[in-house]
A = this chain, B = another copy of it.
Amino acid sequence: MQRFGWVAKARPELLQKYVDLHAAAWPAVLARNTDCNLQNYSIFLKTLPDGQHYLFSYVEYTGEDFQADMQRMAADPEIQRWWAECKPCLETVEDLPPGDVWATMEEVFYQA
């Protein structure tokens, strides 16, 4: 099992939209997450001292080929529709490949 920690920033004017979307995430999106072997998926929000609204994801991947599963997810029309709503709400915290919004954090401790 792989654990991931990711971080992005919410655009201030679209923060509430992002929160509302995730308070009632679409069943097709949740089903696809599970189908692509993502589990125990949390997103946390914190406004840091720089006044920016940061979002932190924690998710566990239980499959055998993360890249393949993420490509399968990206090919799903419902996921594309969901990302078309969500991604404009976010900004990256570092340079990332086009279409990516979440930056990877480094795991420095783990205890089961």
**Contact A49-B93, Cβ < 8 Å, known A44-B106, A105-B56, A109-B42:** yes
- A selection of 19 A-B contacts at a CB cut-off of 8 Å is A5-B44, A7-B46, A18-B108, A19-B108, A33-B111, A34-B111, A39-B111, A40-B40, A40-B111, A42-B107, A44-B105, A44-B106, A44-B107, A45-B107, A45-B108, A46-B93, A48-B54, A48-B93, A56-B105
- Select one of B34, B45, B106, B109 contacting A105, CB under 8 A: B45
Interface residues of A (CB under 8 A from B): 3, 5, 7, 18-19, 22-23, 25, 30, 33-34, 38-46, 48-50, 54-56, 58, 93-94, 103, 105-112
A46 touches B105 (CB 8 A): yes
B54 touches A22 (CB 8 A): no
Contacts of A33 on B, CB cut-off 8 Å? 111
B58 touches A108 (CB 8 A): no
Contacts of A54 on B, CB cut-off 8 Å? 48
**A94 CB to nearest chain B CB (Å):** 7
A94 touches B49 (CB 8 A): yes
